[in-house]
Structure 1
Amino acid sequence: MKKVSISPLALVASLVQHRQLLLDMAWRETIGRYKGSMFGLFWSLLTPLMMLGIYTFVFSEIFKSRWGADTHTSKSAFAIILFAGLIMFNMFAECASKAPSIILSNQNYVKKVVFPLEILACVNALSALFHAAVSFLVLLAFQYFGMGEIPLTALFAVLIIVPFMFFLLGLMWFLSAAGVYLRDIGQTIGVTITGMMFVSPIFFPLSSYPERWRFLAAFNPLTYPIEQVRSVVIFGNSLDWYVWTQYVIGAAVFAWLGFAWFQKTRKGFADVL
């Protein structure tokens, strides 16, 4: 078997070398879910629009929810705040739900010694990023028409998404490798994702956490990207550079650990499959 490396430089070299293959597979993965449908890729725009409408109706009309202690939050503002958190969570959910079966569903690539298996996680991450980008366009459009402006600080969203992608890649490398040996991961990941949705500050602000449970937010990897995207895109605040630096370092280390785990365990993929 071809010798594999756990060096971050080896990963970068592999992505550069196979960049065209990566982009082609990511595009096929993106449009593959819409194959045979009447509206095709247009569903990537319709889905976030429908999701925004449903959540707005349920939480503002049925539950009469308001954002935190601000009882004067308009329905449009509440929907935008909620939707911003959902965009980040949906990126996580899409990546995490697919991760355990990435290798299992691509067994033909495992048998090919020269195929760079490490890019399969990147393929799914780029597909999730595409759908998130479309959702962000919907968010910005609704914010402009609903709140009258889009703050310049919204540009900082890119700096938040980049380390978040590092985290997602690390998670996918961990889960995709573990999923080969522990098939039960694929059965439990759905429940885990649902649990993460309700413990993350998506439907409520971070300040709503009871004091004794505040530590859960600190250890939740979704807390920072969700809160910061809202802060820069909706509320017009600048980045907290100190916390951002910590998150970048933590996400980069986690990504490398996930990659190292994947590289160390890939030698046994063919035998197990």
Structure 2
Amino acid sequence: MNKTIIEPSKGWQFIDFKELLRYKDLLYFLTVRGIKAKYAQSVLGVGWAIIQPLFTTIVFTVVFGGLANVDSDGMPYILFSYLALWPWNYFSGTLSESANSLVANANMITKVYFPRLILPLSAIFSKLLDFIISFIILLVLLIYFRVSPGWTLVFLPLLLVQLMFTSLGIGMILSAMAVQYRDVKYALTFIVQLILYLAPVVYSTTAVPNEWQFVYSLNPMVGVIEGIRAMFLDRPIPWEWIWPGSIIAVGVFVFGLFYFRRMEKVFADVA
């Protein structure tokens, strides 16, 4: 009897798009399962995707915009902070989901073969629903403050690609590490809270000293946040903040992909 043995690819190899395409149904199933699992037996359901960022924005507005009197570049602080929290919540949420995706699905990994990359990918896609729903609050704020986005909004997809590349790249690295080092799961909450203040979420980039601004712009989330603010507020796009982070985002994505593929052969052994 002929036997077919399926083995993971060896070495530092790139993504196999044909293989992912063959397993697109599994990717769809895991994405939907991730959405249902989050809101199952929840009274408010997807309403939490609106309540959570809204209350966070209100707290930031009271603490940083009111008590600390943080500069908001001449715009209402609640709008200033929400334009940053909108992409930031997606970024932080995908990190948490993708970092734990392999460990949470250890039973699947040890019993059947499928492209392991599907697990962090499903985490990235399942969070898109929250991202889209949170956009409703942004529209309400724009209407309330009578702010109209300019034509530069056509560049928004580029920033969203940068956001997803950054999220998936770091997510693949953390998920691969979490299989061998369970400390990643416990340290992730602290790390996400820490890096929140390394991005211009509660403060403006003008607060960063001039001699540190280029180094600061290497953080991909800096360009994403400042670019989104500029596009929705009809201001000049700060390309000087965007292009350094774009290069880093692509680099992180490529490294994360190669690192994930490299570690893929040991997932079933240590999961």
**Which range, TM-score by smaller chain?**
0.7 to 0.9
Per-residue CA deviation, residues 194-234 of structure 1 (Å, 9 max, x unaligned), is 11111211111111013454454133232111111111122
Residue of structure 2 in register with 1:263 after alignment: 261
Partner AA of 1:30 in structure 2: I
| Structural mapping, 1:24-173, within 5 Å | 24-68=29-73, 70=74, 73=75, 77-173=76-172
Q: Following TM superposition, by how much is the alpha carbon of 1:149 offset from its aligned partner in structure 2, in angstroms?
A: 2.2
What is the root-mean-square deviation in Å for CA atoms of aligned residues?
A: 2.5
- Compute the displacement of 1:38 (Å): 1.0
Q: Deviations over 1:217-264 (max 9, x none)?
A: 133232111111111122443473x87566445423321221111111
Point out where structure 1 has 5 or more consecutive residues left out of the alignment. none
* CA distance 1:161–1:120, change in 2 (3 Å): same
Give a deviation string over 1:16-41, Cα, whole Å, max 9, x none.
Answer: 33233222321221232121111212
Q: Determine the structure 1 residue equivalent to 2:226.
A: 227
Displacement of 1:173 in angstroms is 1.0
Letter in 2 for 1:149: S
Instruction: Give the TM-score normalised by the residue count of structure 1.
Output: 0.85
Contact 1:31/1:41 (8 A) holds in 2: no
Please list the CA deviations of residues 169-201 of structure 1 after superposition, one character each: whole Å capped at 9, or x if unmatched: 111111111111112222222221111111211
Deviation by residue 1:42-96 (Cα, 9 ceiling, x = unmatched): 222333333333333333333343315x4xx4xxx22111111112221221122
- When residues 38 and 236 of structure 1 are mapped into structure 2, their CA distance, relative to the original with a 3 A threshold, is same
> 2 CA distance for matches of 1:198 and 1:9?
33
Structure 1 residues 110-129: Cα deviation after superposition (integer angstroms, max 9, x where no partner): 12342221111111111222
Cα distance in 1 for partners of 2:170, 2:206 equals: 27
What is the number of residues matched between the two proteins?
Answer: 265
Q: Which moved more, 1:207-216 or 1:253-262?
A: 207-216
Percent identity between the aligned chains?
Answer: 24
Q: Of the candidates 252, 255, 268, which is equivalent to residue 254 of structure 1? A: 252
